[in-house]
């Protein structure tokens, strides 16, 4: 418990040292909270960022069911608007394609918009969350199409330059 307090105090101290927002030309590594997706981000300007991601999800159910591995690719763009010191809200668009390892394989295509907020703990670390709205087409044998809320995501971002 003591270590958690030290870590939280350290993060709070780092967040008060400087006003942290996007800076043109910065690059980053991103991951979701569960760690099933890893990607990269590039700040085109102080208010625009592009993202790319790869996700790998592996399931190992008990026998006699088969284990599967799903793979996904995604890309997006976010427009930032500073709300207050170290906080910015953003909106943007996102495209992703996923396939699982089942036989027959199920593929999913997502196209949508997103909106959320990001807190910059320091110039090199931030945590953001957003809601996705859009179109999803999923299918192998039973094809489904969904329009509406696609889900919520939380993303850790480590800026390295």
User: pLDDT digit string (tens) for 52-97?
Assistant: 999 888 777 777 777 778 899 999 999 999 888 889 999 999 999 9
- pLDDT on residue 7: 67
Q: Would you place residue 104 in the very low, low, confident or very high pLDDT band (cuts 50, 70, 90)?
A: confident
Say if CB 156 and CB 127 are below 8 A apart: yes
What integer best gives the mean pLDDT of the chain? 83
Percentage of the chain beyond pLDDT 70 is 86
Mean pLDDT, to the nearest integer, of 87-111? 87
Pairing of strands 125-139, 107-122: antiparallel
Pairing of strands 48-59, 68-84: antiparallel
Q: Would you place residue 17 in the very low, low, confident or very high pLDDT band (cuts 50, 70, 90)?
A: very low
- In terms of Cα–Cα distance, which of 142, 35, 127 is closest to 90? 127
Mean pLDDT, to the nearest integer, of 13-32? 72
- pLDDT on residue 102: 73
Encoded tokens for 112: 């949508």
Say if CB 102 and CB 96 are below 8 A apart: no
- pLDDT on residue 116: 95
Predicted structure pTM score: 0.78
- Token pair 């179109």 in the structure block, residue: 135
Q: Would you place residue 146 in the very low, low, confident or very high pLDDT band (cuts 50, 70, 90)?
A: confident
Q: Would you place residue 11 in the very low, low, confident or very high pLDDT band (cuts 50, 70, 90)?
A: low
List of domains in the chain: 2-159 (2.40.160)
SS3 label, residue 64: coil
């Amino acid at each position: 418990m003591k270590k958690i307090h030290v870590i939280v105090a350290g993060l709070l101290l780092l967040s008060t040292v400087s006003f942290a927002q996007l800076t043109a030309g910065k690059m980053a590594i991103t991951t979701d909270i569960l760690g099933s997706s890893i990607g990269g981000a590039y700040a085109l300007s102080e208010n625009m960022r592009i993202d790319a991601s790869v996700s790998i999800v592996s399931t190992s159910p008990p026998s006699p069911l088969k284990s599967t591995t799903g793979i996904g690719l995604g890309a997006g763009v976010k427009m930032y608007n500073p709300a207050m010191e170290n906080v910015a809200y953003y909106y943007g668009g996102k495209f992703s394609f996923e396939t699982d390892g089942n036989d027959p394989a199920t593929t999913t295509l997502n196209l949508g918009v997103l909106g959320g907020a990001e807190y910059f703990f320091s110039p090199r670390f931030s945590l953001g969350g957003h809601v996705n709205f859009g179109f999803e087409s999923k299918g192998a044998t039973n094809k489904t199409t969904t329009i509406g809320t696609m889900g919520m995501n939380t993303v850790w971002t480590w800026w390295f330059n």
